[in-house]
Amino acid sequence: MTDHSVPVLRWTDAPEGPAVLLLDQTRLPAEEAELRCGDVPSLVSAIRSLAVRGAPLLGIAGAYGVALAAARGEDVPKAAGVLAGARPTAVNLGYGARRVEGAHGRAVAEGAGPEAAAAVALAEARALHAEDAEASDRMAEHGRDLLLNTLLGDRRGARDLRLLTHCNTGSLVSGGGGTAFAVARAVHRAERLERLWVDETRPLLQGARLTAFEAERDGLPYSVLVDGAAGSLFAAGRVDAVLIGADRIAADGSTANKVGSFPLAVLARHHGVPFLVVAPVTTIDPETPDGAAIEIEQRSAEEVTANAPKGAEAYNPAFDVTPAELVTAIVTERGVVSPVGRDGIAAVCSAPPTGASRSRNGMMNS
Ligand SMILES: CSC[C@H]1O[C@H](OP(=O)(O)O)[C@H](O)[C@@H]1O
């Protein structure tokens, strides 16, 4: 896993008071700068500016944000609501905030005083952080084995794999090694990665800036490409599988992820290439029935029009939705969902936390 000189996210009780400390991802790869968020408003600002980003890490940030409000003796339910609403698409953010709010509320209901309840909140945030790190390792194993033993096993002994990824899904989005990028890293460590194609991922360049940063530091063979170049790689037969993360997976398996993911799914289906979504179960939202129900964050025109005439208008959705029928498999820490549909999603949500066995719905340990 990428060892950052500055931790991706950590809690401090430093003399000047409790705070969430973040590796500021808007300044990577040029600078590894630490951002101190000593209150909820500053953490919300960091979330909205993508100084901290990526669904699983947003869940962890939301969790610590509620713990911060508790430590400061503030209104915890109000803080949880503000944090959960900071960005609408990644379900993890609200999950993390509400989970810690619930732990804090139960402690108070049981008679805990403010300090004791704040300690419970912090412990719950730390537990979520640790669970996500463990989930990263399991997803990496399941995804690697799915690629090498199942999907592309007939290529055993043949050439190594050419994997394409979009946006950034490594340790910068996680309490551990990440999601989709962690699978690519595991394939590399199995000495089976020929090339990681890295979509630059406009407009904020999470691929060119952040995935390239992680691939460089982890020693993966990678090439950055403009998003529009992916089609020609598929047409030339130079992509063996697509690996992407997720921000919200609906009950029917529809998946919201960084804008540009849906076109990749169409390209993959047209060219008969496996399209894998890699995400922890905390990214699945059974309360969202289908892709149409997923709120897509619309971001500022300025992110797109930096090189356009002053005043140019823009269409800047941060995410798009890939329908379940275009997803080959969803790789979670509890196992692999395939075929992707309501039954498989329900099965993985009810599966034991690790070591899930094959289910009647096709879920399998890859
Ligand atoms: C595995 S979560 C990473 C996920 O988050 C990214 O969005 P953003 O950079 O706007 O937080 C993108 O959707 C990635 O796939």
Cβ(15)–Cβ(30) below 8 Å: no
Tell me, what's the pLDDT at 91? Answer: 97
Domain identity same for 159 and 30: no
More confident residue, 5 or 233: 233
Minimum mean pLDDT among 82-86, 151-155, 260-264, 308-312: which range? 151-155
Cβ(273)–Cβ(241) below 8 Å: yes
Confidence grade of residue 14 (pLDDT, cut at 50, 70, 90): confident
Name the residue at shortest CA distance from atom 12 of ligand 1.
258
Name the residue at shortest CA distance from atom 7 of ligand 1.
54
The values of phi and psi at residue 305, to 5°, are -100, 20
- Report residue 300 CA to chain centroid gap: 22
Q: Which atom of ligand 1 is nearest to the CA of 92?
A: 2
Tell me, what's the pLDDT at 5? Answer: 85
Whether 356 has a pLDDT exceeding 50, the answer reads: no
SS3 163: strand
Tell me, what's the pLDDT at 156? Answer: 53
Domain identity same for 290 and 187: yes
Catalytic residue check, 247: yes
Cβ-based neighbour number of residue 48 at 10 Å? 14
Question: Is 178 a domain residue?
Answer: yes
Tell me, what's the pLDDT at 273? Answer: 96
Pairing of strands 9-12, 19-23: antiparallel
Q: Is the CB of 93 under 6 A from ligand 1?
A: no
CATH (domain of 350): 3.40.50.10470
Domain count, the chain: 2
Domain identity same for 171 and 220: yes
Cis peptide preceding 339, ω within 30 of 0: yes
Confidence grade of residue 154 (pLDDT, cut at 50, 70, 90): low
Question: Is 28 a domain residue?
Answer: yes
Whether 150 has a pLDDT exceeding 50, the answer reads: yes
Confidence grade of residue 357 (pLDDT, cut at 50, 70, 90): very low
Whether 366 has a pLDDT exceeding 70, the answer reads: no
Tell me: is residue 170 an annotated ligand-binding position: no
SS3 278: strand
Tell me, what's the pLDDT at 1? Answer: 47
Question: Is 283 a domain residue?
Answer: yes
Name the residue at shortest CA distance from atom 15 of ligand 1.
245
Whether 164 has a pLDDT exceeding 50, the answer reads: yes
CA of residue 244 to ligand 1 center, whole Å: 9
Tell me, what's the pLDDT at 153? Answer: 65
Confidence grade of residue 157 (pLDDT, cut at 50, 70, 90): low
Domain identity same for 124 and 179: no
Tell me: is residue 206 an annotated ligand-binding position: yes
Share of the chain above pLDDT 90, in %: 91
Tell me: is residue 87 an annotated ligand-binding position: yes
In the beta sheet, which residues pair with residue 163?
A: 196, 241
Tell me, what's the pLDDT at 365? Answer: 46
Question: Is 271 a domain residue?
Answer: yes
* pLDDT, mean of residues 197-209: 98
CATH (domain of 96): 1.20.120.420
Tell me, what's the pLDDT at 15? Answer: 85
Domain housing 21 = 9-130
- Listed residues 130, 152, 169: the one ending a domain: 130
Tell me: is residue 53 an annotated ligand-binding position: yes
CA of residue 211 to ligand 1 center, whole Å: 11
Cα dihedral 360/338/293/349 (nearest 10): 50
Question: Is 315 a domain residue?
Answer: yes
Choice from 53, 171, 227, 295 to test ligand 1 binding pocket (greatest atom count within 8 A of CB): 53
Residue type, 175: G
- Express each pLDDT in 19-53 by its tens digit: 999 999 999 999 999 999 999 999 999 999 999 99
Domain identity same for 147 and 71: no
* pLDDT, mean of residues 334-357: 87
Confidence grade of residue 198 (pLDDT, cut at 50, 70, 90): very high
Domain identity same for 203 and 221: yes
Task: Return the residue matching tokens 């690697």.
Answer: 144
Please state, in angstroms and as integers, the Cα–Cα distance from residue 320 to each residue in 188, 230, 257, 295, following that order. 29, 17, 6, 10
- Listed residues 105, 130, 155: the one ending a domain: 130
Domain identity same for 196 and 111: no
Cis peptide preceding 203, ω within 30 of 0: yes
CA of residue 158 to ligand 1 center, whole Å: 32
Q: Is the CB of 258 under 6 A from ligand 1?
A: yes
Domain identity same for 145 and 110: no
Domain identity same for 154 and 120: no
Whether 159 has a pLDDT exceeding 90, the answer reads: no
Domain identity same for 101 and 123: yes
- pTM over the 0.90 mark: yes
Question: For residue 198, what is the DSSP state?
Answer: E
* pLDDT, mean of residues 182-191: 97
Whether 363 has a pLDDT exceeding 70, the answer reads: no
Question: Is 3 a domain residue?
Answer: no
Q: HEC string of 44-74?
A: HHHHHCCCCCCHHHHHHHHHHHHHHHHHCCC
Residue type, 11: W
Q: Is the CB of 55 under 6 A from ligand 1?
A: yes
Radius of gyration of the chain (CA): 20
